[in-house]
Amino acid sequence: GQSLVGSSALIERVDMLAPRKPYDAPNWLPSDRPIKLGELMPANKLNVSGYDPGDITVPLNLPPDLFSWREDGVPLNLKYRYTPQERSNNSSIMVSLNDTLIKAEPLPSIDNLSNSILARLTGGNDTVSREAHVYLPLNSVALQSRLQLRYMFDYLKQGECGDIIIDNMRGSIDPESTLDFSGYDHFMAMPNLGVFKDSGFPFTRLADLSQTAVVLADQPSTEDVSAYLNVLGRFGESTGYPATGVTVMQAAQIASAADKDILVMSSGPDQPLLNLWANRLPTSGNGQQQGFELSDLAFRL
């Protein structure tokens, strides 16, 4: 006979994981409080230098069902520092969302700054701090989006033989700058295969899938099990959390899942629920003859 060899360990206690709250997936931006930009990327990535230093790109993974109708946009409280130039110029910091310019905020030169601000440019500190309030529109924004912040320092010509560039311009975004999604409701018409494909929603509303029951065939094939594991892996990629609370069952146990979201998986005619619910499904047919129905909502409005 065969036996196992190797080190062993005694598990004396198992600490149960705390239940998840709706929309608290680690990979999703929180929608119940303001979030600091310093929570989304390291502080050293928020600093740049040079006349054209390129974008500071902040990744934004949005909850799938933020309802943005009649909203002004997501408030961005942007705190930043920069090196002021000696005289009037066209320098600015540009705020973009997914390569679309939202606002360009001027960077005043020394001759346009107040004496109280100029008094701070001592002791080796050659940057000034400012603050801007910007609204980011969410209409038609992808779930995986990018906030782009770009310093554009204007090059000032000094005259003939004097145009030697001293590349000493600096800019930094304060990690305490915030985005606030808490004013948005969660609402979305379902079903929506687009958000299911992109983020596993609505099953991923609870990141541990504790509200989800997966119904497999009584005798699942290798392909069924493979599809099940791939789907859960995709869900975890979206949420950043493993499916520790998912319930897996067969069709005969469906009554026990009355309070759960149900995900039925099958690669053939061996799933009893598909036959039981045939009259309520938008698909029909068998074998080579397959069809589906479209909603008539557009004709009833």
> Two tokens at 53?
């230093």
Q: Which of 70-79, 214-223, 284-293 has the weakest average pLDDT? A: 284-293
Domain boundaries, the chain: 34-156+165-186, 198-284
90-102 pLDDT, tens digit per residue, is 899 999 999 999 9
Q: Which helix (H) or strand (E) holds 50?
A: none
- Structural contact between residues 283 and 291, judged by C-beta atoms closer than 8 angstroms: yes
Burial class (CB in 10 A: 0-12, 13-18, 19+), 241: buried
> Two tokens at 220?
């699942």
Q: Which CATH architecture has domain 34-156+165-186?
A: Sandwich (2.60)
Model's pTM, two decimal places?
A: 0.81
Confidence of residue 70 (pLDDT cuts 50, 70, 90): confident
4-48 pLDDT, tens digit per residue, is 788 888 988 888 888 899 999 999 999 999 999 999 999 999 999
Pairing mode of beta strands 247-250, 212-216: parallel
161-219 pLDDT, tens digit per residue, is 555 565 678 999 999 999 999 989 999 998 888 999 999 999 999 999 999 999 999 89
Confidence of residue 229 (pLDDT cuts 50, 70, 90): very high
SS3 285: strand
